[in-house]
Structure 1
Amino acid sequence: MAKLAAKCLLAGDPAVGKSALAQMFCNDGSHFQKNYTMTTGVELLVKNIAIPETNNSVELFIFDSAGKELFSEVLEKLWEQPNVLCIVYDMTSEQSFNNCAKWLEKLRAQALGRNLPGVLVGNKTDLIGRRVVEQKQAQEWAQNHGLEYCETSVKEMENFEAPFHILANSFHRLYQEKRGETAKQK
């Protein structure tokens, strides 16, 4: 049984639901905190994810980062050498969606030329009447940037585990591929 460790960078604008998503996932959906204090740097959360149809698991170290520009210099040091990326936007805010390009650029700069698995998360599906970013538009953007895509409502506890399971499975698949390449070289 292999237990792998992956550094997951979680980024996006302030108030899109990054912390709520990470907290809900790491607490197995036990409660939705209605009042969050804004993250002022980076909060580290850890969760072990079993990989289906294997005896392996991925321990995801989720670096939940502040969305404010003020903390970007601090983040760059903590963001070094990630394994997987998660960018969150609020589907009722076109600005938060448009800023995903900026966040992706910052995250990929830390990857040192490696192509990392990532997921774009459209949060707040419970506010469907206020939606301004269409699913098709976001899916196409994610695909064009080499990311998976999913939508969630942390508040309604819908699909909040999906982004992290996608990332853990993608990381595991890369690990298996690398292991196969190493075995061929011997």
Structure 2
Amino acid sequence: MVKLAAKCILAGDPAVGKTALAQIFRSDGAQFQKNYTLTTGVDLVVKTVPVPDTADSVELFILDSAGKELFSEMLDKLWESPSVLCLVYDVTNEQSFTNCSKWLEKARSQIPGITLPGVLGNKTDLAGRRAVESAQARAWALSQGLECFETSVKEMINYEAPFHSLAKQFHHLYQEKLEVFQALV
């Protein structure tokens, strides 16, 4: 049984549901707040995620960062050496989807030349006012090497899936590195 630790960057524009997603995940669906204050810096959420089909787990240290500080020095320090990335956008806000490219570029610039496992998630609470179609988001995510998830914290739909995927991806990279190391010994 192996317990790994992964630094997870939760990124996206302001008011796209990052904090709600992190909080509902941490509380296993028990804590949905209707009113959130905008994150002004960074909140830390820690949760251990079991890796399916193994006895292993990944402890995710989720850095929920304020969306308005895309290029601040504070984020540069906190974002150093991320293990995994969770991008979030709101399906009713096309600009929040477009800006995911900038968030992804910023995260990847922290570890040049290294694969950064990631997911693209969204807030579908107001799907009736959707501006970004699911197929468009999936196609972009695939082109960037990311998995894509439709989530709704409000409706309690699929809110765990992005984090379980990240844990599984991180564990897979660990296994690959372990195999390379064992082949050298």
TM beyond 0.5: yes
The equivalent of 1:175 in structure 2 is 174
User: Could you say which residue in structure 1 is the equivalent of 2:133?
Assistant: 134
- Contact 2:90–2:96 (CA under 8 A) maintained in structure 1: yes
Corresponding residue for 1:82? 82
Amino acid at match of 2:164: H
Contact 2:8 2:85 in 1 (8 A): yes
What aligned pairs does 1:62-73 form with structure 2 within 5 A after superposition?
A: 62-69=62-69, 72-73=72-73
Aligned position for 1:93: 93
1:22-171 equivalences in 2 (<5 Å): 22-69=22-69, 72-123=72-123, 125-171=124-170
- How many Å separate the matches in 1 of 2:26 and 2:71? 24
After TM superposition, give the deviation of residue 52 of structure 1 in Å.
1.4
Deviation, 1:31, is 2.0
1:65 Cα deviation after fit:
0.3
CA contact (8 A) 1:4 1:59 kept: yes
Distance 1:156 1:70 in 2: 29
Question: Is the 1:45–1:64 Cα contact (8 Å) retained in structure 2?
Answer: yes
CA distance in 2 between partners of 1:47 and 1:126 (Å): 24
Contact 1:85/1:107 (8 A) holds in 2: yes
Structure 1 SS opposite 2:82: coil
CA–CA separation in structure 2 for the residues paired with 1:5 and 1:70 = 25
User: 2:70–2:103: 8 Å Cα contact kept in structure 1?
Assistant: no
Distance 1:26-1:109 versus aligned 2 partners, 3 A rule:
same
The letter for the 2-side match of 1:180 is E
Structure 2: distance between partners of 1:52 and 1:94: 34
Q: So what's the TM-score if we normalise by structure 1?
A: 0.97
Letter in 1 for 2:182: A
**One-letter amino acid of the counterpart of residue 184, structure 2:** Q
Gaps of 5+ in 2: none
CA distance in 1, matches of 2:69, 2:169: 29
Aligned residues: 185
Structure 2-normalised TM-score? Answer: 0.97
Structure 2 contact 91–130 (Cα < 8 Å) conserved? yes
| Alignment CA distance shift 1:71-1:98 (3 Å) | closer
Q: Post-superposition shift, 1:72?
A: 2.1
Q: Aligned to 1:32, what secondary structure does the other structure show?
A: coil
Q: Percent identity?
A: 66
Deviation at 1:113, TM superposition (A): 2.1
**For 2:13 and 2:46, how far apart are their aligned partners in 1?**
22
Aligned to 2:17: 17
**1:71 deviation in Å?**
6.9
Q: Distance in 2 between matches of 1:20 and 1:151?
A: 14
In the alignment, residue 162 of structure 1 is paired with which amino acid?
A: A
Please identify runs of 4+ aligned residues in structure 1 that moved more than 3 A. none
